Amino acid sequence: MRIKIEKLDNFGRGICYVNNKICFVENALPNEEVEIEIIKENSKYIEANTKKIYVESPIRTEEDCIYSNLCGGCNLNHICYNEENKFKKEKLKDLIKKYAHINPDIIEKIEYHDRNHYRNKIILHGNKESLGLYKKNSNEIIPIQECLLVNPKINEIIKILQKEENEIEEALIKTSNDNSKIMVSIKGKVVNQKELENSCNVLKINNDFITKEQEIETTIGNIKYIESIHSFFQVNNTLTKELYDEVLNSIKDKHYKKALDLYCGTGTIGIYISHYVDRILGVDSNESNIKDANHNKVLNNIKNIEFIQSKVEDRINEFKDIDLIIVDPPRAGLDEKTRKYLKQISPKTIIYVSCDPVTLSRDLNELQEAYDIKKIKPFNMFPRTYHCESITILERR
């Protein structure tokens, strides 16, 4: 079936209409004429793949990844980078207008760095025969020898892990932001253990550390951070500093007395701004995150920050006399109770670090009952994917 693509959806799929139903087409761009193959249809929508391109869009670029349209890691390989950044900014504008009724002109210029080699982390999956990434919407494993998203140090480890004798169920690989340290955690059988041990700083196989070191040290700006294998850390090794600087520049002249850093991870943002706030309290549910956060506090000799291991929603009703709250929730955004108590706590400023424009728009729609949205700044932290990070500054009305 030959059809013309009208626009892109929020996941970077082409949109057209077939039999009066919306049809989402993988690997298709606006104004292209393509032949499609329908792979799913129900009463509301159709999903399809592109089989042939008759009229090609000028924003299409050559797909330089040999695993394009195979693994589920990237879905914007076929869009040139400038257009990818435009797409993400426009997506954010459309969503906040649709779901939060906010003037989209408030969104500032999108920040971005390199499209390749920006990730400091990857998780590979194995079935004792193949090791790689999952095919989209599937548990089928696509074996890979390298990934364009990760830094070259990680790709060196991947090649070692792909030795035929290994029987690996899962491999987690992390590097420090300057690529000087590398950490590997493996579930399964590794025959060439010595080669692997000589190639990384931290090696854990199943439940045992093979190396003396059990964590790596990384930096953001002038701040040092300890990172354990199972702790959360921003994966973009070049743009994270600009993200944190945006938070810092928003608060450094305001003289806040007491701040809450919710979903604080390993304490990275709270420690980054700690010299500009009298007191900070960080909350996170992950035990490994809080352990690293306390380690990072000592590493940087920070005296005015404390950390609590707890779900945010379990403690949010206890906090009072807070004049700054920073939230950096997972993609699910803020739960209903947390949104409610943010308004009851009523800080002067809320800084919302979001990795999902849909849940951000939902949350802003409720929070703006008491807060003015001063600015929204997008960051392309995940090039080649449809994901878009942003920072929103809210001031109490």
Tracing tokens 């990275």 back to the chain, one arrives at 268
Q: Given CA atoms 193, 197, 199, 201 in this order, what sign does their dihedral have?
A: positive
Name the residue among 219, 220, 215, 162 with its Cα closest to residue 184.
Answer: 215
Domain at 121-216, CATH class: mainly beta
Average pLDDT for residues 113-132, to the nearest whole number?
Answer: 93
Residue 30: exposed, middle, or buried by beta-carbon count in 10 A (0-12, 13-18, 19+)? middle
* Res 129: pLDDT: 82
* Res 163: pLDDT: 85
Dihedral angle, C-alpha 63, 69, 73, 75, nearest 10 °: 70
Please state which CATH number belongs to domain 85-113+239-396. 3.40.50.150
From residue 167, give the alpha-carbon distance in Å to each of 7, 19, 115, 205.
Answer: 44, 48, 32, 12
Secondary structure (3-state) at 179: coil
Alpha-carbon span 273 to 248, nearest angstrom: 6
Average pLDDT for residues 103-124, to the nearest whole number?
Answer: 96
Per-residue pLDDT of 303-325, as tens digits, reads: 999 999 999 999 999 999 999 99
Per-residue pLDDT of 191-221, as tens digits, reads: 889 999 999 999 999 999 999 999 999 999 9
Alpha-carbon span 339 to 370, nearest angstrom: 11
Q: Mean of the per-residue pLDDT values for the chain?
A: 95
* Res 38: pLDDT: 96
Helix residue ranges per DSSP H, 164-222: 193-197
DSSP secondary structure letter of residue 109: P
Same fold, 2-60 and 85-113+239-396: no
% of residues, the chain, pLDDT over 90: 92
pLDDT score of 164 more than 80: no
Pairing of strands 371-379, 349-354: unpaired
* Sheet with 324-327, edge to edge strand ranges: 305-309, 277-284, 256-262, 324-327, 349-354, 389-396, 371-379
Quick one: tokens of 194?
Answer: 């010595």
Domain 2-60 in CATH: superfamily? Answer: Nucleic acid-binding proteins (2.40.50.140)
Pairing of strands 256-262, 277-284: parallel
The CA angle 375-378-382, to the nearest 5 degrees, is 160
Per-residue pLDDT of 265-306, as tens digits, reads: 999 999 999 999 999 999 999 999 999 999 999 999 999 999
Per-residue pLDDT of 90-110, as tens digits, reads: 999 999 999 999 999 999 999
pLDDT band at 160 (very low <50, low <70, confident <90, very high): very high
pLDDT score of 380 more than 80: yes
Average pLDDT for residues 8-25, to the nearest whole number?
Answer: 96
Helix residue ranges per DSSP H, the chain: 81-100, 152-161, 193-197, 240-251, 268-272, 287-299, 312-315, 336-345, 357-367
Alpha-carbon span 81 to 73, nearest angstrom: 17
Three-state SS string across 137-149, please?
A: CCCCEEECCCCCC
Alpha-carbon span 187 to 216, nearest angstrom: 20
Can you give the residue ranges of every domain in the chain? 2-60, 85-113+239-396, 121-216
Q: Assess contact for 284 and 307: CB atoms under 8 A.
A: yes
DSSP secondary structure letter of residue 313: H
* Res 116: pLDDT: 95
pLDDT band at 139 (very low <50, low <70, confident <90, very high): confident
* Res 128: pLDDT: 77
Quick one: tokens of 62?
Answer: 């050559």
* Res 166: pLDDT: 83
Name the residue among 91, 134, 119 with its Cα closest to residue 177.
Answer: 119
pLDDT score of 332 more than 80: yes
* Res 277: pLDDT: 97
